[in-house]
Structure 1
Amino acid sequence: MRVRRSGEHARVGFVELFFDLVFVFAITQVSHLLLAHLTPLGALEAAILLAAVWWVWIDTSWITNWLDPERGPVRLMLFGLMAAGLIMSTSLPEAFGDKGLVFACAFAAIQTGRSLFTLWAVRSSPVQKANFQRISAWALMGAVFWIGGGLAEGQARLAIWLIALALEFTAPAVAFFVPGLGRSNTTDWDVEGAHLAERVGLFVIICLGESIIITGATFAELAWTTPVVTAFASALVATIAMWWLFFSEAHEAASETFAHAADPGAIARRAYTYCPIIVVAGIVVTAVGDELALVHPLGHTAPATAAVLIGGPMLFLLGTSLSILAVWGKVAWPRVAGMAGLVVAACASPYLAPVVLTLLSTSILVLTATWESLARRKS
C-alpha cells in the first residue's frame, strides 16, 4: 500500500481530490459561523473549529503520502472519512450548541479510525508499526477529550476542546511520545515532499475558492453602486494577490528542498503541518472582511470590521513568512514589511470607511507580492 518508490514523485490522485470536496463545505461553514458571531468569543470558537478541520485534513494527507490511495482498502478508508467528514461539517454551525456531541464523535471517529487503519496497513514494517501505535494512542487520548467536551455545555465545552486541540497540535511536536513506546523519529517518516506540497497547495486553493464564492454571491445580491463595485474589485484583487504570494516560485522550490534534505520529515512537520493553518485562517478571515466591506462599504468602520479587514491579510502574511522560515531558514523581508504596513493601516482604521480600508489592505498585499517578485528576478 506504499505510495512511492525511492525517488518517485507521488502523484495526487483523483480520489484525494474527491475527498477534498468535503472540506470546501467545511471551510464555508466556518466562514459563515465567524461572520454570524463576530465577537472575541465567536472568533475563538471559529478558530477551534477551523483548526479541527485543518487537522483532520492534514493528518489524512500525511496518510496518503505513505499509503497508495488507488488501492481498494485505502480508497474505502477515504470514503469512510468523507462520510464522517460530511457529518462533522454539517454540525459545525451548532458545534458549540446542540450538535456538539455529533461534531465530537465525527472528529474522534475520523482521527482514531484513520490511525487504526494505518496501523493495520503498515503492520509489516516494524518502524512504521511502532510509529502508528504511538499515533493511535494519542488519537484515542484526544478522542476522550473531544467526546467529553461534546457531553459538556457552555464554557466547560470550550475549555475541554481547547485541551483536546492542544493535544492534537502537541503530538507531532513531541514526536508522539508514549511511555513504554518511546517517541518517533522524523527521519523515519520518509515523507515525499512534492506530494505533501501539492496537497497543501490544493487546500489553499479550496480556501481561495471559498473566498471567491462568498464575494461573488454577496456581490450578486447587492445594488452595483460605485462603492460596492470598488469593494468587489478590491476583494478579487486581494484574492489574486494571495494566490500570487502563496504560489510563487518559492512554493515550487520547496519540494526540491525536501528532496535533498537530510530530515525531510522535520521540515514537513514545521512547514506543512503547523504553518499553513495560519495561512488558511488568514484567507477565511479575509473573506469575512470582504463580505462586510461589500455590504457596508461606507460610513464608520466598526472595530470588528477593522479587525477582519486587517487581521486576515496579516495572518496570511505571517503564515507564509513562517513557512519560508521553516523551509529555508530565511526571513521574508517584503512580507515582514507588508505586516508592518498593515499595522499602520490598523492605526488609521477608525478614520477610514470600510471600502477605503479594504483598498488599503489589498494595496499592501499587491505591493508585497510585486516587491518580492522583483527582488527574486534580480537575485
Structure 2
Amino acid sequence: MLPLRSRMGPRDLGEPHRASSPLELLFDLTFVAAVSQVAGRLAHATEEAHVGGAIAPFLMVFFAIWWAWMNFTWFASAYDTDDVLYRVMTFVQMAGVLVLAAGVPAAFDGDFTTVTIGYLVMRVGLVSLWVRAAVAHPAGRATALRYAAGLSVVQVFWVSRLALPDGGPMWLFFVLAALDLSVPLIAERPGMTTWHPHHIAERYGLFTIILLGESVLAATNAVQDAVAHGVSGELVTIALAGLAILFALWWLYFSEPAGEGLERRRDRSFIWGYGHYLIFAALAAIGAGLETAVVSAGDHIEASTRTVVASVAVPIAVVLVMLWALHAPLRRTTIRPELIGATAVLILLTILAAPTLGVAATLIVMAVLLSLLLAATLTREAPGAGGAGSA
C-alpha cells in the first residue's frame, strides 16, 4: 500500500510522468450517472419532438456538471495531496455529484432545487480544500483565499435563487453562471496556480472518453430495447454507423497533443479549458442523438427524420469546429481549418437530405465524411507526433 502524502503544497510544474491518481479516476466515475441522466432526458425530449424546449435545460444542467468537474480537476492538478482529509473532502464532492444527478429529471421540468443542493455540497468540499491550501501554502495564499471567497459568494447567490418564484427568470441563471466563470479569472490575478499542463490534458482526455462511453451505453440500451421488436438491417446499420462516428471523433480528439500546447501557451489555458464546455456538451448530445436514431429504427416516434438526424449532425459539427478552434492557438494543429469547415458544413447539409436518404443512410454519410477528415489528418501528422497517448 502506498503511503499517504499529507503535505498540501503546490505540485512541480516540471514533474515527469504526472498522471491521474486513482482518486481522480474514482471522482470521474461519479459523473457517469449525471451525464447519463442529462443525455437520457435530452434523448426522450427529442423522441417526443420536444427538443426545442429541452435544449436550454440540457445546457444549464450540463453547465453544473461540467463546472463541478472543472473546479476539482484544476485544483487537484495544482495542489494534489493524498491524506485522509483530502480524500474525505473529495468524497464530499462526489456525494454532491450524485445528489446533482438525482435532480436532473426535475431540472428539465424547471425545478433546480435538488441540483442546487448537490452543487452546494460540492462547494463545501471544494472551498474547504482551498482554505486548506491557503493555510499550507503561504506563497499562494492570496490566490487560494480569492478562490474560497469567490466560490462561497457565488454559491450564496445560487442558493438564494431558489427563493424566487420558479427559480427566477432564465437570464438570472446565465448571470450567475458568468459570475462562477469569473472566479478563476479574478482569483488567479495575484499569481497562477501551478497546474500541470500534461496532467490537465490527460484529465480532459479522460472526461472525453467518459462522454464517448456514455454515447456507447445510450446506444446499447436503445439497441437492447429495439431488439425486443426484432432485429432489422436498419437497426444494425445505425448501430455500426454510430460506433464509427464515435471512433472517428475519438481519433480526431486525441490526434491533438494538448499537453505540449498548454506547456508552451499557459496564457491560453482559460480559453482552452472553458471552450471545452461546448465540446463536452456536444459529445453528450451526440449520445442522446444516437440513442434517438436507434429508437427511430425500432419504434414509431414523434420526431421527424430531419430532427433525428439533426440531433446527431449539429453536435458533431460543434465538436469539429471547437476542436480546431481550441487547439490552433496552442500549436500547429494537424486539422486543416478548410477541411474542418467543409466537413462540418457537409455534415449539417445531411439534415436537408435526411427525409430522402433516411436515418441509417444519413449516419453512414456522416461516418464516411469523418473518416475522410481523419484520413486527411493522418497524412499531415509528422512521424512520431500526436497519437492517442499525447492528448
1:358 to 1:150, Cα distance in 2 relative to 1, 3 A: farther
2:318 is aligned with 1:318: no
2:107 is aligned with 1:95: yes
Residue 176 of structure 1 is matched in structure 2 by: 186
| Residue of 308, 328, 349 corresponding to 1:344 | 349
Bigger drift between 45-54 and 304-313 goes to 304-313
1:228 to 1:5, Cα distance in 2 relative to 1, 3 A: same
Bigger drift between 309-318 and 298-307 goes to 298-307
Partner Cα distance (2:137, 2:82) in 1: 20
Partner Cα distance (1:102, 1:83) in 2: 13
1:220-250 C-alpha deviation (Å, 9 max, x unpaired): 22221000100000011111111111111x2
- How do residues 1-379 of structure 1 correspond to structure 2 at under 5 angstroms? 1-2=8-9, 4-9=11-16, 10-38=18-46, 39-97=51-109, 100-154=112-166, 156=168, 158-172=170-184, 175-176=185-186, 184=189, 188-222=192-226, 223-248=230-255, 250-251=256-257, 254-259=258-263, 261=264, 264=266, 266-271=267-272, 273-297=273-297, 301-328=304-331, 332-333=336-337, 334-377=339-382
Bigger drift between 51-60 and 6-15 goes to 6-15
Structure 1 stretches of at least 4 aligned residues deviating more than 6 Å after TM superposition: none
Q: Which has the higher contact order (CA 8 A, sep 6+)?
A: 2
Deviation at 1:96, TM superposition (A): 4.7
Deviation at 1:61, TM superposition (A): 0.3
1:303 to 1:167, Cα distance in 2 relative to 1, 3 A: farther
Structure 2 SS opposite 1:188:
coil
Deviation at 1:199, TM superposition (A): 0.6
Structure 2 SS opposite 1:227:
helix
Structure 1 SS opposite 2:330:
helix
1:190 to 1:95, Cα distance in 2 relative to 1, 3 A: same
Deviation at 1:194, TM superposition (A): 0.8
Partner Cα distance (1:206, 1:364) in 2: 24
Deviation at 1:6, TM superposition (A): 4.7
1:295-323 C-alpha deviation (Å, 9 max, x unpaired): 22499944432321211211211221122
Residue-pair matches, total: 364
Partner Cα distance (1:78, 1:138) in 2: 19
Q: Contact 1:270–1:326 at 8 Å: present in 2 too?
A: no
Partner Cα distance (2:251, 2:323) in 1: 12
Residue 3 of structure 2 is matched in structure 1 by: none
Deviation at 1:94, TM superposition (A): 0.8
Structure 2 SS opposite 1:219:
helix
Partner Cα distance (1:284, 1:192) in 2: 26
1:95 to 1:317, Cα distance in 2 relative to 1, 3 A: same
- Amino acid corresponding to residue 4 of structure 1 in structure 2: R
Partner Cα distance (1:324, 1:93) in 2: 34
Residue 180 of structure 1 is matched in structure 2 by: none
Bigger drift between 302-311 and 287-296 goes to 302-311
TM-score, normalization by structure 2: 0.85
Structure 2 SS opposite 1:30:
helix
Deviation at 1:112, TM superposition (A): 4.9
Partner Cα distance (1:98, 1:310) in 2: 27
Aligned sequence identity (%): 22
Partner Cα distance (1:281, 1:332) in 2: 23
1:3 to 1:19, Cα distance in 2 relative to 1, 3 A: farther
Unaligned runs of 5+ residues in structure 1 are 178-182
Q: Contact 1:297–1:353 at 8 Å: present in 2 too?
A: no
- Amino acid corresponding to residue 53 of structure 1 in structure 2: I
Partner Cα distance (1:24, 1:340) in 2: 31
1:11 to 1:2, Cα distance in 2 relative to 1, 3 A: farther
1:6 to 1:22, Cα distance in 2 relative to 1, 3 A: closer
Deviation at 1:368, TM superposition (A): 1.3
